[in-house]
């Protein structure tokens, strides 16, 4: 989760020199100064408190937001997250949107699917636009025999079929960044290297008893393939953040899937420093299937003013990278990253209209 203390990928030094020369631009581009003027949609945030600081900053920076409830033990309870979502959505449904989630408690017991569907229906009536499944499915939750439960488990089918029938998107986050399964010295970003160095209990490279990265991706892909009419949004570049080639294969294989960028911009920048044209071409080719998101998180106890400053800086840094040709120093990859200077027409889709289409075009009545 991106919080006010974990924004190491924000811009440290922004040069105002334009770096567009030699790059074919298919249409006009935005500037840094256009940031506040253009309407935008952050499709992956977590507003876990009823304090209005996050909403205030989003309005100041011309953002609609989708706050995603998640079954994550470090967050407030699902009920508390839902309470905050209900409050802000009721107050401003045009700018504050939210996604519901469900508990895995009782998953192996009779009636779990019916109870879960009834709960989700109550959330849809209150405005929820999507449902989130988290990496606890595949990495934490176990059945009565002690076996890990994966997202392609047939016991999820009644719930997934229900979402499909109601035209409700599923936001799927299965797995950690691929760096988690690599030795520290092979990791591509400094923030991942530092985090897993200090939290070896979460460093999957050290835990061969846990599922491999490839197993989690395969289970996710089987689920997406088995539900071809279900709209699936792959959170965090569908956990394929390390390779735009692999992300392209995922999108090509699953016409019902889209991806979002939350908390994985540095992995994208790592690639563009090495092959700028390939990364830029990826965004242009899949411009209709990429949503902007950050994973910015506002939790109980966070300082409101510090959070506002963090959110603004993070959003502006991402805008600078995607929308302009300017260069910024990215500490997490120890390199200067040249902006992709994506055409305005592409930016308008990634930063706004794709999210509106995925979440709002088929809103359940």
Classified as helix, coil or strand, 264 is: coil
pLDDT of residue 1: 55
Domains in the chain (CATH in brackets) are 14-360 (3.20.20.140)
Classified as helix, coil or strand, 20 is: coil
pLDDT, tens digit, for every residue of 1-38? 554 333 433 333 333 333 333 344 568 999 999 999 99
pLDDT, tens digit, for every residue of 170-219? 999 999 999 999 999 999 999 999 999 999 999 999 999 999 999 999 99
Q: Is there a contact between 350 and 319 (Cβ–Cβ < 8 Å)?
A: no
Two structure tokens written together for 355: 């999210």
pLDDT of residue 18: 34
Low-confidence spans in the chain with pLDDT less than 70: 1-26, 362-365
Number of Cβ within a 10 Å radius of residue 103: 14
Two structure tokens written together for 362: 């088929």
Number of Cβ within a 10 Å radius of residue 262: 26
Distance in angstroms (rounded) separating the CA atoms of residues 104 and 100:
13
Q: Is there a contact between 337 and 317 (Cβ–Cβ < 8 Å)?
A: no
pLDDT of residue 361: 87
The three state secondary structure string of 269-333 is HHHHHHCHHHHHHHHHHCCCCEECCCCEEECCCCCHHHHHHHHHHHHHHHHHHHHCCEEEEEHHH
pLDDT of residue 265: 98
**329 forms bridges with which residues in the sheet?**
336
- Max Cα distance, the chain (Å): 63
Distance in angstroms (rounded) separating the CA atoms of residues 35 and 256:
31
pLDDT of residue 26: 63
Sheet holding 257-260, edge to edge: 290-291, 257-260, 232-234, 170-172, 130-133, 96-100, 63-68, 40-47, 296-298
**46 forms bridges with which residues in the sheet?**
297
117-122-126 Cα angle (round to 5): 140
pLDDT of residue 360: 96
């Amino acid at each position: 989760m991106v919080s006010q203390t974990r924004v190491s990928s924000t811009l440290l030094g922004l040069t105002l020199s334009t770096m567009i020369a030699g790059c074919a631009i298919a249409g006009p581009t935005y500037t840094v100064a256009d940031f506040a003027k253009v309407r935008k949609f952050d499709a992956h945030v977590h507003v876990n408190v009823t304090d209005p600081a996050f909403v205030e900053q989003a309005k100041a920076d011309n953002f609609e937001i989708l706050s995603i409830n998640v079954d994550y033990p470090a967050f407030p309870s699902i009920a508390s997250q839902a309470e905050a979502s209900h409050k802000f959505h009721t107050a401003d449904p045009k700018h504050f949107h939210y996604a519901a989630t469900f508990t895995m408690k009782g998953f192996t017991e009779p009636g779990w699917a019916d109870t879960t569907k009834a709960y989700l229906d109550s959330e849809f009536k209150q405005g929820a636009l999507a449902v989130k499944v988290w990496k606890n499915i595949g990495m934490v939750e176990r059945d009565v025999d002690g076996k890990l439960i994966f997202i392609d488990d047939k016991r999820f089918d009644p719930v997934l079929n229900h979402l499909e029938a109601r035209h409700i998107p599923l936001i799927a986050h299965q797995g950690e960044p691929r760096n988690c399964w690599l030795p520290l010295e092979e990791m591509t970003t400094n923030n991942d290297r530092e985090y897993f160095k200090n939290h070896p209990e979460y460093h999957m490279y050290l835990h061969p008893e846990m599922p491999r990265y490839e197993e989690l991706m395969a289970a996710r892909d089987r689920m997406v393939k088995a539900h071809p009419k279900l709209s699936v949004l792959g959170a965090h570049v569908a956990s394929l953040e390390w390779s735009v080639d692999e992300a392209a294969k995922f999108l090509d294989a699953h016409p019902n899937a889209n991806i979002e960028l939350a908390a994985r911009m540095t992995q994208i920048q790592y690639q563009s420093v090495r092959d700028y044209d390939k990364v830029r071409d990826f965004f242009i080719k899949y411009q209709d299937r990429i949503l902007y998101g950050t994973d910015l998180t506002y939790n109980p106890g966070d300082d409101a003013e510090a959070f506002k400053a963090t959110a603004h800086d993070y959003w502006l840094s991402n805008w600078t990278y995607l929308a302009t040709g300017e260069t910024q120093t990215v500490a997490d990859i120890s390199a200067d990253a040249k902006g992709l200077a994506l055409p305005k027409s592409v930016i308008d889709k990634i930063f706004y209209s794709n999210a509106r289409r995925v979440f709002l075009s088929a809103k359940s009545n």
